[in-house]
Structure 1
Amino acid sequence: MRAQILSTPHLILIIIGIIGGTLARVLILREDYRQYPTYPNGVLSQIALGFVASTLGAIFIPAIMTNNVTAATFLALAITQFQGVRKLEQDSLKSLEETEYTKRGSAYIDGISKTYEARNYIALFVALTISVIAESLETMPVFIRISLGILGGILIFLILVRFSKGKTISDFAVVNQAKIIIKNNELYADDMFISNRIGSIRGQEMILQEGIAVILSPKQEHYRIFLDNFGQRQAILFEITRTLGLKRYHFTRKDYSNGRIAFVIVPIIHNIDNMISSILRTPVLETVQKNHKYLQKKEK
């Protein structure tokens, strides 16, 4: 059967779908730019992928309507391509590990790459929703079809963003500044022992004069499960050093008796408020949240 030629209204609806999906990708990207290694070049590549995903979603329904089944199969091909992009993202971030102040860690890299893959699907579904609604109301004027399609796209966007939004450290832990103490060549944050390897007298003076310390306390006992996770602590340390820089020292210690976690660093930018903020905004890794219901359970 010979394929039909798309009319001008169909082309307008496709363009609206592409714009809507791409805009959705841009809006989501702004939330997590701090996790991305190459800003703004990394942002540009992600917007380009969002544009491709939006195009596939926008042309899916018109392709079927014009008997162009071959074009519709590109939607399935896109999933494979986005999975390939996730693998490239992982390789890219791993190659940068040695150039950072501290390493992200494999768990954090896995979470970041999965997040960017999933958000391309959000762009695709937003564009697909706009296209489905607009094409299903063929008897109505174009303006109404576009308006209802956009409203549907906004609704599905809000639903998907809420569904895919992960937890952060602020949901499960309290962060407080701690006083740095050195006695008998041992480093303490408040009453919590940190390390007995703190270097020379000059190094100790640097820690006392320029160091910052914080202690994370789990809000509930079972929240210690992810705070004690090495990958989670590595992600927190990475966000701290990425926010403040690292002049020289960094220490991490956990208290086995009560689940507290201490971080001590000598940063380039001495700002305790930014340090606490970066910790609270650090995502809780998906690899830690294997049992979501357990983490949500309230203690009696």
Structure 2
Amino acid sequence: MEKEALSQYYIFLILIPVLCGTIARYLTLIIDYRQYPSYPNGYLIHLVTGFISSGIGAVAIPAFLERNFEAITFLFLAAEQFRDVRRIEKESLQDLDDVEHVFRGEAYIDGIAKTFEARNYFSLLVAFITSLTMHILPHKIMWINIICGVIVGIIALYILKAFSKGKAVGDIADIKLAKITVKNSELYVDDIFVTNHLGTDRSRELVKNSGIAAVIYPKEKHFNRILDHNGQRQAIIFEACRILGLRRYHYTKRDYETGRIAVVLVPIIYDEEAFIETIKKTPLLESIKKSYRIMNSNFNK
């Protein structure tokens, strides 16, 4: 292959995968109900890191072809840089926790930071797979290679997203609206005792007239361990308060006999449908997931 043609070939072999990897990062960055990160500055930071990770993945094949093994070392340096991205995200969210009415909690913050680190690997892998596909195809017509590379990159992104997609509270539990009852200074959600700290008439009237409550029913007994975790309950109440706003008071309480979880708050915006949907979509935290296979095997003996 002539030098000029080879140079043009390498340009396509790098630019197209970089573009695919950056677009893949954008598609995984679209704001969801958690509203993080905010835009435009949050978008810009993550798009730039996605562009850099795409570039690292895209240059791997040309580096191999040119036997430039020094360039390949960037692949190993990338892992360290992405860990720094996770660390920075974690520190940023911890700083934000100090000014929030309701804390995210350490477990939720750790999960979000890991997610953003993993999504940089999405860009790297999509770019690498696109570049590899474009190179190994036997067609001499470049635009055919480009189309095939883009298609394979899209398939790779779909597989990566499916593989990394976690479950939400709605996958392991049923959520139903519940009745708020105030007896003297005691607060009940349905028949679940929540607190006895409502010491004034004003606080009791506020919770009774403006409060909103739900009960989370685990679909299976072993799901109780996940929903009872303080980090998971903190994530649930944080998301509910973030969507509806917090006027005053927020509580979660477990019924130890049945494993049900009561969630109650006094929101700024009273929206029952949004309240239930928010709880359903709250992600299950990776740090608290447990395997119940050993427990089941012991029961079946």
Superposition TM-score, scaled by structure 2 size: 0.93
| Counterpart mapping for 1:259-298 below 5 A | 259-291=259-291
Does residue 48 (structure 1) correspond to residue 48 (structure 2)? The answer is yes
Which residue is 1:219 aligned to? 219
Larger displacement relative to structure 2 (214-223 or 196-205): 196-205
- 2:209 aligned partner, one-letter code: Q
In 2, Cα distance between the equivalents of 1:169 and 1:296? 22
What residue in structure 1 maps to residue 64 of structure 2?
64
In the alignment, the residues of structure 1 paired with residue 242 and residue 296 of structure 2 have an alpha-carbon distance, to the nearest angstrom, of 30
List per-residue Cα deviations over 1:18-50 (Å, max 9, x = no partner): 110111111111264625253332122111111
SS of aligned partner of 1:111 = helix
Alignment of 1:1-300 (within 5 A): 7-30=7-30, 32=32, 34=34, 36-137=36-137, 139-291=139-291
Letter in 1 for 2:93: L
Q: Per-residue displacement from partner, 1:203-254 (whole Å, max 9, x unpaired)? A: 1111112110111010111110100111100011111111111011111111
Q: CA deviation at 1:59?
A: 1.1
- Give me the whole-angstrom Cα distance separating, in 2, the residues matched to 1:4 and 1:245: 61
The structure-2 alpha-carbon separation of the partners of 1:290 and 1:242, relative to structure 1 and needing over 3 Å to count, comes to same
Q: Which runs of 5+ in 1 are unaligned?
A: none
Structure 2 counterpart of 1:26, one-letter code:
Y
CA distance in 2 between counterparts of 1:82 and 1:250 reads 36
Q: Is contact 1:101–1:245 with CA below 8 Å preserved after alignment?
A: no
Please tell me whether the aligned partners of residues 54 and 127 of structure 2 are also in contact (alpha carbons under 8 angstroms): yes
- Which amino acid in 2 is paired with 1:154? I
What is the identity percentage for the equivalent residue pairs of Structure 1 and Structure 2? Answer: 46
Residue type at the aligned position of 2:191: D
Shift in alpha-carbon separation, 1:106–1:18, aligned structure 2, 3 A: same
How many positions carry a matched residue from both structures? Answer: 297
Instruction: Please say if residues 24 and 122 of structure 2, whose CA atoms lie closer than 8 Å, have aligned partners that are also in contact.
Output: yes
Contact 2:13 2:62 in 1 (8 A): no
Residue 166 of structure 2 aligns to which amino acid in structure 1?
A: G
Q: Distance in 1 between matches of 2:293 and 2:28?
A: 26
**SS of the counterpart of 1:252?**
strand
The C-alpha deviation readout for 1:103-133, integer Å capped at 9, x for no partner, is: 1111111110001000100111000000001
SS at match of 2:217: strand
SS of corresponding position for 1:248: strand
Q: Which runs of 5+ in 2 are unaligned?
A: none
8 Å CA contact retained: 1:134, 1:146: yes
Q: Residues 57-97 of structure 1: CA distance to partner in whole angstroms, max 9, x if unpaired?
A: 11110122123221221111111100111111111111111
Q: Cα distance, 1:265 vs. partner?
A: 0.4
Deviation at 1:184, TM superposition (A): 2.4
Q: Any idea what SS the aligned residue of 1:53 has? A: helix
Once residues 35 and 291 of structure 1 are traced to their aligned partners in structure 2, the CA distance between those partners, rounded to angstroms, is: 30
Q: Is contact 1:33–1:39 with CA below 8 Å preserved after alignment?
A: no
Decide whether the 8 Å contact of 1:227 with 1:261 is kept in 2.
Answer: yes
Contact 1:105–1:234 (8 Å) recurs in 2: yes
Task: Work out whether residues 185 and 200 of structure 2, in 8 Å CA contact, stay in contact via their aligned partners in 1.
Answer: no
CA 1:56 to 1:11, structure 2 compared with 1: closer, same or farther past 3 Å?
same
